[in-house]
Amino acid sequence: MVFASISFVFVFLPIFLLAYAAVGSRWRNATLLVFSWVFYAWWRPGFLPLIVSIALWSWCTGLWIERVPERQKRWALLAGIAWPLVALVWFKYANLLHDTARSIGVPLGAWQAVILPIGLSFFVFGAISYSVDVYSGTVAAEPNFVNYATYQSMFGHLVAGPVVRYEWVAERLQRRAFHAAEFAAGAERFMLGFAQKILLADTLAPLVTSGYQLTSPSAADAALTVLAYALQLYFDFCAYSGMAIGLGLMVGLRFPENFDAPYLAGSLSEFWRRWHISLSGWLRDYLYIPLGGSRQSLPRSCMNLLITMALGGLWHGASWTFMVWGLWHGAGLAAERLWRARGGAKLPFWAGHAAMLLFVMAGWLLFRAETWTQVSTLLAALGGKHGWQVSSAFAAVSRPNQAACLLIGIALVYLPAAWSRWERGRAYGEALLRYLAVPLWLVALCVLQGRTVVPFLYFQF
C-alpha cells in the first residue's frame, strides 16, 4: 500500500484517523504504532517481525548504553548497531555480493535470491542514529518501548523517509495535543504531495522507462530521458516527503523538511545542502565527521568525502552503479574543496548553476541505469553516435501530456527563484498553494482511476 492509492486514502487513513481521535492521549502512541505495523504488514506480513526485532533491539541496547559504566559504553554501542547493520547488509547486499562473486569465477552453489524489505535502509539509519545519540549524550534513552517503536515505525516516514532522528520528535512523543490549524496544514501538505506524485512524477515515469529501453537513442533522446528522470525523481521523492510531513502534522509530529529547491543551487555542495536534507545531514554527522571530516589535512578530508559519498551511493541501492554514482559526487565535492583551498575564483552564479545541473544530471544517468549497457548506450548517444535530433522511436513513445509535464516541471523548479524576487512573493505563493490543494488533489484522484499505482522510487532504496 502506498500513500498515492485509493486503498490508503479512502480505507486505511480514515479508519486510522477515527481510531486515533477516539482514544485518549495516553493511547495515541500505541494506536499509531499498531496502525503503522498494520501498514507495513499490508505489503508483506512476513517482514513485520524483522522491523519489530530491530526496534526492540535498539530500544534495549539504548537503555544498556545509557546505564553501562563509561569504559563499557563503546562495546554497548557496537552491540546496539550490530543487529540493524547485519540485517541491512544481508537483505540489501547479499544478492549483489553473490552475483559479483559468481561473475569473477568463484564457484558457488544454488542461490535463493533475498527479498529486500521496503524501507529497511531508512529504518536502520534511524536505529543507528538513536544508538549513537544515546552514546554521545545527545538524547536520553527512551524508557517506554511503545514510544520508541512509534518513533521508528510511524507509517508516515517508515518506508521512504525522511531520515528522522529521535531528538526531533522526542518531546512530542511524550506529550502532544490536537491543533486544528496543524491538522489542516498537514492535510494540505498531504494533498499537494499526492497531486505532485500523480500529476507530475507518474506522468513522466513511462517516458523515462521508454528512453532507457531504446537500443539506438539519439543525443536528443538521451538528453530528454535524463531530464525527464531528473524531474521525475525530484517530484516523486519531494512528493513523498511532503506527504510524510503532512501525515506527521496530522498526528502532532513535526518531521524536518527534506528538500529546499535543490535544482536552484549554485554549486554541487549547495545542491547537497538542499537535496534529501535528512540523509545529507545523517551522512555528515554519523559518517563524515567521525571519519575526521574537514578537521584533518586537505587530502584526507577529500578522501573522507569520497568514502562518505561512495557509501552513501551504495546505501541507495545494491548495485555498483550506485557506488560509482556516489564516487562521482564525492569527486565533484572534493574538486570543489580543492578549488577553494587553492584560491580559485568564485564562479558567477549562472555559471556555477549550469555546471551543477550538468554534473548532477550526468550522475542521474548512472543512478537510474539498471545495467552498465544502459550507461554506455546513453553516454554514446549523448556523444552523437546515433544522430542529434529526436528519433522516430522516441517520438513514437512520447505523449503530449509528458511534454507538458516536462515544461511544467522546469517552470516549478524555477518558480521559487521568481517568487523570491518579489517582496511578497513567498506569502502569495503559499496562499495560492493552500487554495489549490483540494482542487489539485481531486484532479489527481480522477487521473489515478485510469492508472495502476506507481510505487515511490525510494521504496527500492
3-state secondary structure the chain: CCCCCHHHHHHHHHHHHHHHHHCCHHHHHHHHHHHHHHHHHHHCHHHHHHHHHHHHHHHHHHHHHHHCCHHHHHHHHHHHHHHHHHHHHHHHHHHHHHHHHHHCCCCCCCCCCCCCCCCHHHHHHHHHHHHHHHHHCCCCCCCCHHHHHHHHHCCCCCCCCCCCCHHHHHHHHHCCCCCHHHHHHHHHHHHHHHHHHHHHHHHHHHHHHHHHHCCCCCHHHHHHHHHHHHHHHHHHHHHHHHHHHHHHHHCCCCCCCCCCCHHHCCCHHHHHHHCCHHHHHHHHHHHHCCCCCCCCCHHHHHHHHHHHHHHHHHHHCCCHHHHHHHHHHHHHHHHHHHHHHCCCCCCCHHHHHHHHHHHHHHHHHHHHCCCHHHHHHHHHHHCCCCCCCCCHHHHHHCCHHHHHHHHHHHHHHHHHHHHHCCCCHHHHHHHHHHHHHHHHHHHHHHHHCCCCCCCCHHHHC
pLDDT, position 91:
93
Report the C-alpha gap between 189 and 197 in whole angstroms. 12
Report the C-alpha gap between 128 and 84 in whole angstroms. 7
- Which of the residue ranges 3-7, 169-173, 359-363 would you say has the lowest mean pLDDT? 3-7
Residue 85: pLDDT band (50, 70, 90) is very high
Q: Which one-letter amino acid corresponds to residue 341?
A: A
**Taking Cα atoms as reference points, which of 245, 308, 252 lies closest to residue 279?**
308
How many CA atoms lie less than 13 Å away from 282 in the CB half-sphere?
28
Residue 16: pLDDT band (50, 70, 90) is very high
Query: Would 321 be classed as within a structural domain?
Result: no
Average pLDDT, the chain: 91
Mean pLDDT in residue range 439-449: 92
Boundary-marking domain end, from 129, 156, 177: 177
Query: Would 317 be classed as within a structural domain?
Result: no
Cβ atoms of residues 322 and 314 within 8 Å: yes
Asked whether residue 133 carries a pLDDT value surpassing 70, the answer given is yes
Provide, rounded to the nearest whole percent, the portion of the chain with pLDDT above 90: 71
Boundary-marking domain end, from 133, 157, 177: 177
Residue 295: pLDDT band (50, 70, 90) is confident
For the beta carbon of residue 137, count every other beta carbon within 10 angstroms: 9
**Taking Cα atoms as reference points, which of 446, 457, 435, 447 lies closest to residue 188?**
435
Q: Answer yes or no: do 49 and 75 share one domain.
A: yes
pLDDT, position 416:
79
- Contacting residues for 298 by C-beta, under 8 A, at least 6 apart: 337, 338, 341
Q: Answer yes or no: do 194 and 261 share one domain.
A: yes
Residue 404: pLDDT band (50, 70, 90) is very high
Q: Answer yes or no: do 170 and 213 share one domain.
A: no
Q: For residue 313, report the phi and psi dihedrals to the nearest 5 degrees.
A: -65, -45
How many CA atoms lie less than 13 Å away from 440 in the CB half-sphere?
20
Query: Would 292 be classed as within a structural domain?
Result: no
Q: Answer yes or no: do 387 and 241 share one domain.
A: yes
pLDDT, position 446:
92
Q: Answer yes or no: do 145 and 208 share one domain.
A: no
Query: Would 276 be classed as within a structural domain?
Result: no
pLDDT, position 425:
65
Q: Answer yes or no: do 82 and 198 share one domain.
A: no
Helix (H, G, I), strand (E, B) or coil at 3: coil
Report the C-alpha gap between 397 and 408 in whole angstroms. 19
Q: Answer yes or no: do 203 and 129 share one domain.
A: no
Q: Answer yes or no: do 161 and 211 share one domain.
A: no
DSSP annotation of 371 reads S
In DSSP notation, 191-242 reads: HHHHHIIIIIIHHHHHHHHHHHH-SS--HHHHHHHHHHHHHHHHHHHHHHHH
Provide the residue range defining the domain that includes 257.
183-267+347-460
Question: In this predicted model, which residue has the larger pLDDT, 432 or 405?
Answer: 405
Asked whether residue 451 carries a pLDDT value surpassing 80, the answer given is no
Q: Answer yes or no: do 152 and 127 share one domain.
A: yes
Boundary-marking domain end, from 127, 142, 177: 177
pLDDT, position 461:
60
Q: Answer yes or no: do 74 and 206 share one domain.
A: no
Question: In this predicted model, which residue has the larger pLDDT, 177 or 335?
Answer: 335
Please give the tally of structural domains in the chain.
2
Mean pLDDT in residue range 423-444: 82
Per the document, the length of the chain is: 461
Mean pLDDT in residue range 125-142: 95
Query: Would 303 be classed as within a structural domain?
Result: no
Asked whether residue 82 carries a pLDDT value surpassing 90, the answer given is yes
Query: Would 283 be classed as within a structural domain?
Result: no
Q: Answer yes or no: do 71 and 201 share one domain.
A: no
Q: Which residues are catalytic?
A: 316
- Contacting residues for 221 by C-beta, under 8 A, at least 6 apart: 211, 214, 381, 390, 391, 393, 394
pLDDT, position 328:
96
pLDDT in tens, 299-329: 999 999 999 999 999 998 888 999 999 999 9
Query: Would 285 be classed as within a structural domain?
Result: no
pLDDT, position 342:
85
Asked whether residue 458 carries a pLDDT value surpassing 80, the answer given is no
Residue 191: pLDDT band (50, 70, 90) is very high
pLDDT, position 60:
97
Residue bearing cell 554497548: 76
Asked whether residue 454 carries a pLDDT value surpassing 80, the answer given is no
Strands (DSSP E) found in 63-116: none
Query: Would 341 be classed as within a structural domain?
Result: no
Q: Answer yes or no: do 48 and 162 share one domain.
A: yes
pLDDT, position 344:
80
Asked whether residue 153 carries a pLDDT value surpassing 70, the answer given is yes
Cβ atoms of residues 139 and 170 within 8 Å: yes
pLDDT, position 81:
96
Asked whether residue 426 carries a pLDDT value surpassing 80, the answer given is no
Question: In this predicted model, which residue has the larger pLDDT, 369 or 450?
Answer: 369
Mean pLDDT in residue range 219-247: 94
